[in-house]
Structure 1
């Protein structure tokens, strides 16, 4: 009988520069200061996942993730089975916040379980589709630069869905970008916008009115959810699904935002809810009758692999293009075999577990604790 017991948990900080900074309303990212989380089992199998800190969104840093994994979360999991996910959830949730640290541990246990059972996690989660469409996120820049990036992504990878970062002041800067993209590509591409809480409700309403002829498909977090009445007023008049992202990171928050009239769709990010909690969010959204999109937390390839595994596993998450391509802006990565996007799609891995293999030489080169 296979021994599924967790014997050790490790958190390895690493840093890989981006080839260009990604700018948006809530911050800027120049380097992937992430953490590789490993869960070792008595059978010798090692599960792995990536934790990308976003201090301007969730308050986590690279050092805080390492500390909480080593001092609190790791000891809480050692001695349990990789299948004891409800027990893991109960123990980890004794400590508030720390979403990406918890998520990485959850996904690493799924990876280990899949390897031990000889099954890809994609199938263990649901196994709905073999691949998913890819959406590329365009950060702040001049209209012509953003058009050129979109053209490059379409030509090189076949991507035809683009999430446009907005939220600058004056808002006309971003309206000009979206208009330039539509004029450049016509109806050949899908466009939606993400404000990262950068505008007020009135700015958002004016911007949406000026973009009414541009065929947007989604609007995400244009203004803060804490502006309760303004947000509800905006959502009531929004002509497309209004996506809750940062404001709906847990099932209870999803319930609050949807039933309170502050959103009509939900972004699911495995980087902050892992696989187990993401399924809770997904099933809640399905029960409430709201659409979902699989988002990106500017993940590296390890994190992106987890996202495509979850997106392809379910009918609802594979219905829309998933945000899977921003690892292309990193100068390097950790995987032995780089991820590929072909014809605008990314395939779910078929190997046991998450099917990921970290290059030990690259990890040695980029780790920050050696």
Structure 2
């Protein structure tokens, strides 16, 4: 009788079998308020996943959210509950050398829950790569690059403070591209704020804008030419995620290149955006795509449609950022760089050796697995009780 696709083959009950998965919610303060169109945070919350194989190898993963279930439907509380009650039990006993089987089991156990699944999958890859003594990037196809241009987000809403912040990043040669979060204020106030930023940083920095779905089509039609006149290089998700047709209509009258974010979680979403011609660029995030392999699948659909790639983030610590960098390192093209500045906005990190930021770039950590080591003292310090 043929074996069910969800049956554990006998050869998986070996040293690579997943024996234990645990999850911990942590809350790490940020150095300043981070304000989006619909929320603001002064601490970043994560679920840290720890996974142990039968051979003793351990792997770690991270799921990030922003301000609870407002950016997507997942909150850290829901992520932990679903990992503990549904996802972890579904994969205990599977071999870490079968990541697609792990993914299939989790998909059968729970719909969506992309951030929760991504954290477990990252921990699986980390443990497997550590067992083999290789970086995770090698298991994903190998590296094209060992560092990536990295931007910084300006999100306090105070242009004077943001200019001072940007000047400090430029002087330290950490960031020369800045993403400005807009949409929390009326459009006229945002345009005035962006004018101050563009004048202050003219000739020394590149600006992109993220509206986080805050505008309707009429507002976007009015504001995009203003942003073009200010020299803004890219506008991220100006319309609600459901309005992909509206994004296509905006792009039919080109002013500033448009980037899709919240409207692209799956390969099917990416295919729809491509078919409608609704974006010039797509933001790639593990919390959206449910894991490293799925991120590369979404990237492949975008590349096939001639859509540019951008490494998005959700203010991950060095754990989540490292996972993204291992995926980004193997992409053939990453023309828009990445925004994995998350470790720098935290008052403290969760690893023993944080990521390296130099000369406007972030570097892929060296060593087996993700290349970062969980600091258990800090995990205990910031764990939610």
Q: Is the 8 A contact 2:26 2:45 kept in 1?
A: yes
CA RMSD of aligned residues (A): 1.7
Q: Which runs of 5+ in 1 are unaligned?
A: none
Q: Is structure 2 residue 128 aligned with structure 1 residue 113?
A: yes
Q: What is aligned with 1:343?
A: 359
Counting only pairs closer than 5 Å after superposition, residues 2-17 of structure 1 correspond to structure 2 as 3-17=15-29
Aligned positions of 1:177-326 closer than 5 A:
177-273=193-289, 274-317=291-334, 319-326=335-342
Task: Calculate the TM-score normalised by the size of structure 2.
Answer: 0.91
Q: 1:83 aligns with which of 97, 112, 124?
A: 97
Partners of 2:287 and 2:242 lie apart in 1 by 23
TM-score between both structures, scaled by the size of structure 1: 0.95
Structure 2 counterpart of 1:128, from 133, 144, 153? 144
Q: 1:351: how far off?
A: 0.2
Runs of 5+ unmatched residues, structure 2:
1-10
| DSSP 3-state at the match of 1:284 | helix
Q: Distance in 2 between matches of 1:312 and 1:217?
A: 23
Partner of 2:86: 72
SS at match of 2:329: helix
In the alignment, the residues of structure 2 paired with residue 7 and residue 326 of structure 1 have an alpha-carbon distance, to the nearest angstrom, of 31
How far the C-alpha of 1:157 sits from its partner, in A, is 4.1
Alpha-carbon contact 1:225-1:262 (below 8 Å) kept? no
Q: Residue by residue, what CA displacement relative to the aligned partner does 1:16-63 show, whole Å, maximum 9, x if unpaired?
A: 111222001132122122110112101111110111124102111111
Q: Is the 8 A contact 2:318 2:372 kept in 1?
A: no
Asked whether the equivalents of residues 12 and 66 of structure 1 are also in contact (C-alpha less than 8 Å), the reply is yes
Runs of 4+ in 1 over 4 A off after TM superposition: none
How far does residue 343 in structure 1 lie from its aligned partner after superposition? 0.8
- Describe the superposition over 1:214-267 as per-residue Cα deviations: whole angstroms up to 9, x where unpaired: 222211111113235533322222323311101101111111122123323211
- Measure, in 1, the Cα distance between the counterparts of 2:97 and 2:35: 39
Aligned to 2:166: 150
In 2, Cα distance between the equivalents of 1:167 and 1:39?
Answer: 39
* 1:341 to partner: Cα distance: 0.8
The answer to whether the 8 A contact 2:281-2:309 is kept is yes
